[in-house]
Structure formats: C-alpha cells, structure tokens
Amino acid sequence: MGLPKIEQPLFETKLVSTGRKKIKYRPFTVKEEKILLIAQESDDIDQVILAIKQIIGNCCQDVDPDKLPMFDMEYLMMQIRGKSVNNMIEFRITDPETEDPVLIELDIEEIKISKPKGHKREIPIGEDAHLVMGYPTMSEVTAFLNAEQNGAENIFDVMVSCIETVVEGDTVYNLEDFTKEEVNEFIDSFTTQTVEDIRMFFETMPVLKCEKEYINTNGDKKKVVLEGVETFFI
C-alpha cells in the first residue's frame, strides 16, 4: 500500500499581458523549493530563469512557460511564492551614500506591474499599415541581454524577432510566412522613426516594480526602486 497523495489547493489569477485569461496554480512543494534554492545559491541569473520556468511549468495548469512574456512569468512566480511561503520577502541592498548593507523587507502585495505612459504595441509604418509587437519571453530577454555584448546589429535582430504581425488595412501578415530574404528586405525599408518606436516599445514594457523607503546609517531617508526577476529572486 502506497503513501497517501497530498492534495494541493488551487488558486486563480489573471495574466497581466491580457488582463482576461485566468490561470490556475498551486503552491510549490518541497520539490520546487529545492529547485529555486539551488538556483539562488548559484547567483546566476540564467539558472534562476531556468528554475522559474520549471516551477511555473510544474505549478500552473495549461501554461507554457516558454511562451509567456517576461513580466507574466515574474508576476506568476510572485503569486506562487506568496501562496507557498508567505507574502513577506527580505533581501539586502547596499546604500549608495554610506556603502553599508541595508535589510529591505516588503510585502508581495506592494509589488505591482508598472505600465509606463506612452507604451504601445502598435507601431505605424505607413498611412494604413502598422506593426504589432509581441512581448518577449524570458528566453528572448536573455538573448537580448547577450546581444548587448555582441553589437547593435544583434540587438536589432532580437527586437525584430518580437514583431508579431504586420497589418495593412484589413490584411494581416505573419513574418513566419515569408522567406528570410523577404523579411530582411522589408526590415531594411524601415525609417529611423520606426526603429526608434521599436526601441521605445522595449524600453517602456511593463515590469514588476516596487519603490521602497528606508533609513540609512546616517539617519537619512532614502528610496530604492526594485524591479525585475534578478532583484526579487536572487
């Protein structure tokens, strides 16, 4: 006779990117906690991202971690962590004035998705045509960070890979339906304004963010802006 199977409660939340689709998830177990702890001890952002993808794949129903935007992944991970442990997170920062370590404690409920003004997914490329940008996944964000070390051309290639569709009037084009040569010719016709709009799309994307006040060892009131997976999970 086998040991009893422990049933885990299910919770619901909505994806930030759509605001509509509901996701069911369970708290993580000892198995997932070990995965996260090992990644945290490595102090390697790539390992942390891999661990988060694995945990979300284990704990969420009908979710493909490889297809979720970065901020959806971060948000889901925070929700799972809150139900699994508690809502409080502690970590240390270094005060830039005194260079002393500061213990920061915050409630998960204080962490929100920041949506900068002016952010838009549709980028005009003509009188009756526009691009529809897709939010990058964790893998694409990692590729973007690696591309920053390899030159502007590689960065632009990663940006272009996030073009979801091209719309002209009532016609919708998917770049995957065209050859690489056709896509390159299309991209080469972009104006500098289009390139700037694509860059702004990435710079103003929603991000997990929290502003927290603290008192440093000089007695001065300071504010730190916390954002991104590397802040909350390493």
For 67-121, write each residue's pLDDT tens digit: 888 888 888 988 898 888 888 888 788 998 999 999 888 888 888 888 888 888 9
Helices (H), 136-175: 138-148, 152-160
Gap between the Cα atoms of 136 and 198, Å rounded:
13
**pLDDT at residue 167 in the model:** 96
**pLDDT at residue 99 in the model:** 92
Each as own residue / partner, the long-range contacts of residues 52-55 (CB below 8 Å, 24 or more positions apart, any chain) are 52/77, 52/138, 52/229, 52/233, 53/138, 55/28, 55/80
Mean pLDDT in the chain? Answer: 85
One-letter amino acid for residue 151 of the chain: G
How do the domains of the chain map onto residue ranges?
11-111+209-233, 122-203
**Structure tokens of 187?**
């991209």
**What's the average model confidence in pLDDT over 141-157?**
65
Gap between the Cα atoms of 94 and 201, Å rounded:
31
- Range in 36-50, 136-150, 181-195 with the lowest mean pLDDT: 136-150
Which residue do the tokens 């502007």 mark? 152
Gap between the Cα atoms of 64 and 47, Å rounded:
18
Query: β-strand 171-173 against 207-215: which pairing, if any?
Result: unpaired
Residue 149 has pLDDT above 70, yes or no: no
Question: For 157-171, what is each residue's pLDDT tens digit?
Answer: 777 888 999 999 999
Helices (H), the chain: 30-42, 45-59, 70-84, 138-148, 152-160, 180-188, 192-203, 229-233
**pLDDT at residue 158 in the model:** 74
**Please, are residues 73 and 53 in contact by the beta-carbon 8 Å criterion?**
yes
**pLDDT at residue 154 in the model:** 65
